[in-house]
Amino acid sequence: MSDSIEPAVVADDGAAQIHDQRFRPYSGPRRGLAGAMRAVIVSSMRFTLGLGRPARHKFLPWLAVVIALVPAIVFVGIATVLDIDLISDNILPEYHEYYGLIQAALFFYCGIVVPEILVADRRNGMLPLYLSTPLRLWSYLASKAAAVAVTLAVITVGPLLFLLLAYTLEGSGPAGLGDWLTVLVRILASGVAIAATITAASLAISSLTDRRAFAVIGVILLLLGSNLVTSVLVEAADMDPRIYAFNLGEMGEALKDRIFGVGPPVLGEDESSPGQSVSELSTWFVIAANAAWVTAGAAVLWWRYRRIEGTQ
């Protein structure tokens, strides 16, 4: 940047003055790569949730959060009014069953909100500016993925933590500290696992286009289309149920069930022959399928951005 001279101004006594405003280098703290990644994560989370933006940008993300949280509030209200153990008596769903109630909110959030987090930077020219900082391509993408995963965890983990705490205070929670901690770990692990697979897939689809509308359509088609196609092939055409590996939502649900001990829970058992439903698939197969979704999504994302970087 070249030196600049401020135009002459007239002082109170009528004498002209010239202020010499030379370029001064930045003298504040330099936080390096970690600081840059932290800044991108925070700003991306704020952008995704509409914080600091007009009200129209807040409506959709917080609508998804409300949709996910409302059933938990209703369940807690019922548990407070009725003096019985609503989970043990099968009146209310167990913790792992709650994810089926928030899947629509999760898919809605991923389809409508998440694509903007990548598309906006490419559309408004911010990507080259990000890469001119200590950020490199891998750290930029890792920061964006972390921001999406954390905001998704608000939906996948938040309502379950609210249920756990509310049920505990009401008296319907796990018996004993050990059981309580076990449920807590399972909630965190399953929420993070579901958020990771959907984050990788959503960002991969969003990286393929610079048009937000196309990205939204692509993410929705992936989430809903994979469910419809695999269900038809297995249930109507009576094909191998391992085809469910291509069903993003079902694989996340199956992994969550394994974490909560539902379905084939023992990894060491012989589960080489698949069952007739997702719940009967091998635990190792479910883990591998979810890992494959994350790996494939990350690979597509990296390949696409390497090409974008090469054209700039």
- Helix, strand, coil share of the chain (percent; to 5): 70, 5, 30
Cα distances from 48 to residues 56, 66, 176, in angstroms, run 12, 15, 38
Task: Give the Cα separation of 87 and 258 in Å (integer).
Answer: 19
Greater confidence (167 vs 305) lies with: 305
Name the phi and psi angles at 134, rounded to 5.
-60, -10
pLDDT value at position 142? 92
Confidence label for 21 from pLDDT (cuts 50, 70 and 90):
low
Task: Give the Cα separation of 190 and 183 in Å (integer).
Answer: 10
What is the residue-wise DSSP string for 158-190?
A: HHHHHHHHHHHHHT-S-SSHHHHHHHHHHHHHH
Highest average pLDDT, of 15-24, 173-182, 188-197, 267-276, comes from 188-197
Domain ranges across the chain? 31-310
Reading the block at residue 166, the tokens are 């509310």
What is the residue-wise DSSP string for 86-147?
A: TTTTTSS--GGGGHHHHHHHHHHHHHHTTTHHHHHHHHTTHHHHHHTSS--HHHHHHHHHHH
Which residue's structure tokens are 């913790």? 95
Q: Is the pLDDT assigned to residue 181 strictly greater than 60?
A: yes
Average per-residue pLDDT in the chain?
A: 79
Confidence label for 6 from pLDDT (cuts 50, 70 and 90):
very low
Reading the block at residue 138, the tokens are 């891998």
Helix (H, G, I), strand (E, B) or coil at 281: coil
pLDDT value at position 300? 93
Task: Give the Cα separation of 206 and 202 in Å (integer).
Answer: 6
Neighbours of 17 (CB within 10 A): 10
